[in-house]
Amino acid sequence: MTKYIFVIGGVMSGIGKGITTASIGRILLDKGFNATAVKIDPYINIDAGTMNPVEHGEVFVTEDGDETDQDIGNYERFLDKNILSENYMTTGRVYQAVINKERNLEYGGRCVEVVPDIPNEVIRRIYKVVRDSRADFVLVEIGGTAGEYQNLLFLEAARIMKLRHPKDVLFVLVSYLPVPRLLGEMKTKPTQYAVRTLNSAGIQPDIIIARSESPIDEPRKRKIGLFCNVVKEDIISAPDVESIYEVPLNFEKENLSRRILSKFNLRTRKKDSRKWNDLARKIKNLKKSVKIGIVGKYFKIGKFTLMDSYISIIEAIKHAAYFCNAKPEIVWLDAEDYEKGENKLKELKSYDGIIVPGGFGGRGSEGKIKAIGYCRRNKIPFLGLCYGMQLAAIEFARNVSGLKKAHTTEVDKNTPHPVIDLMLEQKKNLAGNKYGGTMRLGAYKCALKPGAISHKAYGEKEISERHRHRYELNNKYREVLEKKGLVVAGVNPERDLVEIIELPVKKHPFFVGVQFHPEFKSKPLRPHPLFREFIKASIKTNNRHTMSVLIP
C-alpha cells in the first residue's frame, strides 16, 4: 500500500518546504523505502517556462523536457533520481485537463464543477505517479501557504485523499517561528493561526516542522502541542543550517523517520544513511576554499539579492567543490558592470573560476562577452552554460576569427555574422507567438570528441544532457571557428548540432562552453563531471595564485 505525505506551508513562504519535502524523502530512502515527490504549483501558468526567474526562481528542466519548479531539482538531488513531468502540476495544467476532458465529452454530459472535478483531477494525477513510480511513499508538496485562496482546491484534494485512505495519509505542516529582535523570544502564535486555518480546510497536521533561526525549546514545543493538537514528539525542531544537506540529519536527531514509520505501522527495512551523513559532516570541516564568480543578471530585486534563479548551478558548484574537499565561495557578478570599462574586468583576476550561466535577451550580453574574453585571454578557468556557451562562441568569432560584428540573432536580428541563430522550426514558433514549452527541451544525446576535455571528464564516448534553448551554433560558422583553434568537442549525432566548445588544454587551463545544462544532473554524492573538472582546474589556479605570493 502506498503511503502519502502531504507537505503544506504555514505562516510564510520561502522557509524551505521544498528542502523539507526532499529531506523527508531522503530519510525514508535511507530506511529502505522507495520514495518519490510531487510538486503542486498554484499558478495559472502551464509550466514555469514562461515565468520570470527573478519572480519564480529557476526553471528546472526534467529529463522528459518539462519546464518545472526548482523544487523538482531539490527532489532529484536529495532522492538521487530523475523526477519526471507527471510529478509536476500547476493550477493551469489541472484546469486545462478538466476543460479538455469536458470538450471530449468524457464527463458524459453532466455538469462539470470546480468541486469535485478539480480536486478529482489532482488526485488522478497523484494516482498516476503512484502507478508509474511504484513508490512506497509519495510526498506531495502543496505550493504557497495555508490560508491562500489559490491553493484551497489542492488542500481539498488532500482532505479527500485522507477520507479515502485514512490509514495511509499524513499531513506535515512546515511552519515558521519568528524571534522578533525586540522581544528576543520565539513566538508560536503565527503557527497556531496557521493550524487553525488548516483546520478550517478540514485538515489536522500530524507533524509540525518548526522552522526558525534557532532550535525550538521544550516549553514552546509543549505550547504548540497543546494549542495545535499535536503530541510534543511530533513537533520537529528545524533551525537554520549552514548547508541544506544537513537537514536530513537534523530531522533524524528529532526521530522524524521513526515517527513517520510508526504512524503508518511500518518498520525500518534497512539503515543506509552513512554516505549522506559523511557528506554532511565533511561539509562542516572543509579547510581550503575555491572562489567562483557567476556573471549573470537574474539576481537583483530591489535591494535584495536572490540566488533562486541559479539554484542548480550553485548546488552543482557545491557538489564539485565538496568532492574536491573545498568550500565554495560563490560571488554574484552583475554582467552589466563589465560594459562600463576595462578596470572592472580586472577584478575577475581575483576569482579562481568564472561561470557564465544561461540567459535570454540583450541586457547584460555585451558585459558577459567582455568577461568571457577576459577569462580566455587571462587563462581564468571558464565554464559557459547554454547562453554562456553561445556568447563564448560569439566572443571567439569576434576577437579570434575576426568577425567583428558576429552576434546572436536573439540580440541583433540583422547581424552580418549570425554565429548563433534560430533553426527553421524555431523561426516558425516565434512567428506564431508560440512561446510556451516550445524550446529545445529535455535530454538529447551528444557524441564527444576523443581526447577533448569533456571526453576525459565524462570518460564516455556518448552522453545525454538536458537542454532549454531556441538558438543554436550556426553550422555555417563552424569552419572559421575551428580553423582558429576552437574545438568542437561535442555534437548531437541526430541533427549535427554543436553542443560543446572548448579551447585546447595547451592554450588554456579550462575553457568549456556547453549548449546544455549540466547543472540539472549534478547530485551531492555524484558531482557532475564537467563541474568537477572545472572546480579542479579552479583550485589549481588558486594554488598558483597562492604560490606566486609565497615564492615571488
Binding residues for CTP: 13, 187-192, 223
State how far the Cα of 128 lies from the Cα of 110, in Å rounded to an integer: 24
Which member of 386, 417, 446, 502 is catalytic? Answer: 386
Q: Which is nearer to ligand GLN, 2 or 429 (CB)?
A: 429
Interface residues for ligand GLN in 364-403 (CB under 6 A)?
Answer: 386-387
Residue 471 sits in the site that holds ligand GLN (CB under 6 A): yes
Q: How many residues bind ligand GLN (CB under 6 A)?
A: 10
Nearest approach in angstroms of CB 37 to ligand GLN is: 25
Q: Which stretch binds ligand GLN (CB under 6 A): 156-164, 193-201, 250-258, 466-474?
A: 466-474
- Binding mask 407-446 toward ligand GLN (x if CB under 6 A, else -) reads ---x------------------------------------
Q: Which is nearer to ligand GLN, 220 or 440 (CB)?
A: 440
State how far the Cα of 176 lies from the Cα of 161, in Å rounded to an integer: 26
Answer yes or no: 228 catalytic.
no
The answer, yes or no, to whether the previous bond of 116 is cis (omega within 30 of 0) is yes
State how far the Cα of 57 lies from the Cα of 55, in Å rounded to an integer: 6
Residue 60 sits in the site that holds ligand GLN (CB under 6 A): no
Query: Is the CB of residue 518 less than 8 Å from the CB of residue 528?
Result: yes
Answer yes or no: 386 catalytic.
yes
Q: Which stretch binds ligand GLN (CB under 6 A): 147-155, 181-189, 468-476, 536-544?
A: 468-476
Among 470, 508, 532, 536, binds ligand GLN (CB under 6 A): 470
State how far the Cα of 24 lies from the Cα of 476, in Å rounded to an integer: 51
Among 328, 359, 364, 442, binds ligand GLN (CB under 6 A): 359
Residue 297 sits in the site that holds ligand GLN (CB under 6 A): no
Query: Is the CB of residue 94 less than 8 Å from the CB of residue 123?
Result: no
Q: Which is nearer to ligand GLN, 299 or 387 (CB)?
A: 387
State how far the Cα of 126 lies from the Cα of 139, in Å rounded to an integer: 10
Nearest approach in angstroms of CB 464 to ligand GLN is: 17
Residues 6 or more apart whose Cβ sits within 8 Å of residue 181: none
Could you give the angle at which helices 256-263 and 17-29 cross, rounded to 10 degrees? 70
Q: What is the DSSP letter of 526?
A: B
Residue 468 sits in the site that holds ligand GLN (CB under 6 A): yes
Q: What is the total residue count of the chain?
A: 552
Residues 6 or more apart whose Cβ sits within 8 Å of residue 289: 326, 327, 328, 329
State how far the Cα of 500 lies from the Cα of 510, in Å rounded to an integer: 13
Which member of 319, 417, 517, 528 is catalytic? Answer: 517
**Which residues are annotated as catalytic?**
386, 517, 519
Which residues contact ligand GLN (rule: CB under 6 A)?
Answer: 358-360, 386-387, 410, 468-471
